[in-house]
Amino acid sequence: MADTSLQWFRVLGLDELPEGRVTTAITGHKSLAITHYQGQYGALDNRCPHQGGPLGEGSIENGLLRCPWHGWDYCPLTGQPPGDLDVDDALETFPIEVREDGIYVGLATEPPHTRTVTDVMAETMVNWGITHVFGMVGHSNLGLADALRRQEEQGNLKFIGIRHEGAGAFAASAYAKLTGRPAACLTIAGPGATNLLTGLWDAKVDRAPILALTGQVNTQVLGTGNFQECDLSAAFQGVAAWSQTILSHSQHGELMTQAIKHALLERDVAHLIFPDEIQTQPATEFKASSPNGRITPLHISPPAKSLNQAIDLLKKSQRPVIIVGHGSRFSMSGITGLAELLNAPVLTTFKGKGQISDHHPLGCGVLGRSGTPIASWFMNESDVLLVFGASFSNHTGIYAGKPIIQVDFDPLALGIFHPITVPVWGEISVVVDQLQTALTGHIQTIDQRPEVAQRWQIWQAEKRKREQDDHGKGINSAAIFAAMTRQVPSNAVISVDVGNNTYSFGRYFECEAQSVLMSGYLGSIGFGFPGAMGAWAAVGHERPIVSVSGDGGLGQYLAEFTTAVKYNMNITHVLLNNCELGKISKEQRAGEWDVWQTSLHNPDFSQYAQICGGYGVRVTDKQNLDSALKEALAYKGPALVEIITDAELI
């Protein structure tokens, strides 16, 4: 009578496995070595008990199945080692039958899944609202990956498998910059983990919350120089505001809660290390944690003394100017209302580009090296600067000789490089509301809107002149970004890279209501396209996603275009190709160095996009810019517009 406790699986056709050969068969979650020897078939556990070698990849020699990793021999039908060797070395065997339609193996019904340590932690991630994980599955994170898979199958989160861990970290960083919420990135131990570091530093210095999940070798071999062993606590010490290793008896849900809390409240990097064997340890008695009762509202009012000083200074002002940085991006509605009350032109840092429309009567574009002459003119004409969420970098060039009111949630950011007139510590939205209430009916400012309009007319006339420049070496940047201004939807998210292409974007592109993402303080080449992937994960279902880079930047993570194709990411990438690291050439000339090693050898990027399965078009004539951009933006999926540009017309 047939054994009804077994499930039977067809593993081979009758003629698939020749005599004297072995192969691997996967049935459910079980890996088997199927042998054909002396006219009989055998079904053995595929894992050698000594080093875990895959016996299905071995060979049958002199009547014995030999492990491909260390040469141990077994009977190909019974799984017994030859001679009088220890029976503990024998392989588990499984019932096998030859039927009319193929070879079948009988396996016991798989038991239900036992909840693990990583299940608890993945459930906690979901409870905290983490919806996206960017990463690469590998041998030292398989238990954690399986827990994430279960959450994805339940519709609780989305895993995006990237081609390089650095791109995953950049994508997670961009996600956080856009939303203020953390995404996670997953890697293996060793090189996978260390590949995260550049993207994590980008998030750290731009104050973006991010969660790094790294596998690790088994705890029993830590410190012995095991394969891919790396001291991850030491490696992440500089970048992570909080880093912990998961241990056997850790409070697993609480550790995940602590990680996410640190990421959110410190707007920084949190890091968890998962030793391999801990990931699958049963944890049926542990509960997932949640944010309930764990987070306080952050609407902190400023000290009354500093607020009153700011109010007094603004009441006396006639030509106030507001400068907004990336840190104020979630408070722009209130800031714009305050600007309208004060008749104050609004300038942005480069990281703050687009936070107020360039079409707003008080919007003046970007201040500093990537900016417009409009912004610098109004800063110079002001009698007080009201600065929200800006870091006072050299790139921005906020003039320290003006009376300055600086508002920031981080007290360490106040007066960070030099003394300021009035430092105000508080949540920006709260401070803005209090200033507006106190100043209504008590201002004597000049309406600067007519001057703003006049300065825009001067600058736009200059840009039109630059659009006509042609040295016969490619299209100029002014023409490219004029076309983008016309074609990119007003609600788009634009992720930019670094280099002359990005400086030109800051100078020439006129924002309406687009959100701009960049590698700000770190200034890392390669951010642009992975940043667009992060933006797509965050809001791609409701907003167009555009990215901009030079050929040097896109080359850093070129393979991620295949990731975009795999997940059908609706991203339009605008590539300025001049076959050169143009910014470096410019710096070499400025420093009176020889121009050296800045040339690049490139493929036809538009054809590359098509080979990958996306849309690609190459533009060599500025007359075709608008039509090429329009077609690419209309394409439902990853599209690349390659524009041959002049490295000097920036």
Do the Cβ atoms of 625 and 643 come closer than 8 Å? yes
Query: What phi and psi values does residue 272 have, to the nearest 5 degrees?
Result: -125, 135
Q: What is the spatial distance between Cα 155 and Cα 149, in angstroms, rounded to a whole number?
A: 10
Query: What phi and psi values does residue 151 have, to the nearest 5 degrees?
Result: -65, -35
Whether residue 112 has pLDDT greater than 60: yes
pLDDT of residue 224: 74
- Average pLDDT, rounded, for the chain: 95
Do the Cβ atoms of 182 and 204 come closer than 8 Å? no
Instruction: Please list the helix, strand and coil fractions of the chain in percent, rounded to the nearest 5, in that order.
Output: 35, 20, 40
Query: Can you tell me the mean pLDDT for 197-223?
Result: 92
Q: Could you identify the residue written with the tokens 């305050």? A: 338
b/e code 146-158 from CB counts within 10 Å (16+ = b): bbbebbeeeebbe
Over residues 612-637, the pLDDT tens digits come to 999 999 999 999 999 999 999 999 99
Which of 286, 223, 282, 232 is closest to 254 using CA atoms? 286
Residue 534 burial by Cβ neighbours in a 10 Å radius (0-12, 13-18, 19+): buried
Q: What is the spatial distance between Cα 149 and Cα 151, in angstroms, rounded to a whole number?
A: 5
Torsion from C-alpha of 327, 333, 336, 340, nearest 10 degrees: -150
CA distances in angstroms from 122 to 268, 285, 539, 615, listed in the order given: 20, 15, 23, 36
Whether residue 387 has pLDDT greater than 50: yes
Whether residue 461 has pLDDT greater than 90: yes
* Helix (H), strand (E) at residue 582: helix 582-590
Residue 100 burial by Cβ neighbours in a 10 Å radius (0-12, 13-18, 19+): exposed
Over residues 296-345, the pLDDT tens digits come to 888 889 999 999 999 999 999 999 999 999 999 999 999 999 999 999 99
Do the Cβ atoms of 304 and 328 come closer than 8 Å? no
**pTM (2 decimals)?**
0.92
pLDDT of residue 1: 42
Q: What is the spatial distance between Cα 455 and Cα 413, in angstroms, rounded to a whole number?
A: 32
Which two three-digit tokens encode residue 334?
Answer: 């209130």
Helices 117-127, 142-153: axis angle to 10 degrees equals 50
Whether residue 525 has pLDDT greater than 80: yes
Which of 77, 72, 25 is closest to 46 using CA atoms? 25
H-state helical runs in 373-476 = 373-381, 428-439, 449-467
Query: What phi and psi values does residue 184 have, to the nearest 5 degrees?
Result: -115, 155
Contacts of 457 by beta carbon, 8 Å cutoff, 6+ apart? none
Whether residue 88 has pLDDT greater than 80: no
pLDDT of residue 395: 84
Query: Can you tell me the mean pLDDT for 205-221?
Result: 92
Q: Could you identify the residue written with the tokens 């009441």? A: 315
Instruction: Give all domains of the chain, ordered by start, each with its CATH number.
Output: 6-108 (2.102.10.10), 117-279 (3.40.50.970), 304-450 (3.40.50.1220), 468-644 (3.40.50.970)
Whether residue 227 has pLDDT greater than 90: no
Residue 22 burial by Cβ neighbours in a 10 Å radius (0-12, 13-18, 19+): buried
Query: What are the start-end ranges of the E strands in 76-121?
Result: 96-99, 102-108
Over residues 477-488, the pLDDT tens digits come to 999 999 999 999
Whether residue 449 has pLDDT greater than 90: yes
